Amino acid sequence: MRQIVHMLPMRPLLMKLLPLLLLLMMMLMIVGMMVIVMMVKMMIMMISMLILMYDVIDDDDDDDDDDDDDDDDYDDDDDAYDDDMMMMMMLLLLLLLLLLLMMMMMTVIFNMVVVVMVML
């Protein structure tokens, strides 16, 4: 009972702060969404850059090759392409992990706010 009595004078102040807290949460969510969108954009840009780089390298290789050796070189090109694909997949996985971490952090913050609200 004593704790409740001690809390009572704080009540109006907390009620005033509550909308501010909600606004802050909304801002955080918006910022989080913007960051996620930016990360997706960066992912797309990185993949496109890798593809462009691979195309340039591929074009250079084609210029250097003799016509006779085309059949032999296809396997090497495929291996190189597979390596690039693996790199891209690894980058994608890393970025996805980062996204998951971001989402977890957001949910933790949200849960903390909810707990605080419930405590009031």
Q: Between 75 and 10, where is the model more confident?
A: 10
| The pTM of the whole model exceeds 0.75 | no
pLDDT tens profile 18-72: 778 788 878 887 887 888 788 778 877 877 877 777 776 655 555 555 555 555 5
- Compute the mean pLDDT over every residue in the chain, rounded to the nearest whole number: 72
Q: What is the 3-state secondary structure (H, E, C) of the chain?
A: CHHHHHHHHHHHHHHHHHHHHHHHHHHHHHHHHHHHHHHHHHHHHHHHHHHHHHHHHHHHHHHHCCCCCHHHHHHHHHHHHHHHHHHHHHHHHHHHHHHHHHHHHHHHHHHHHHHHHHHC
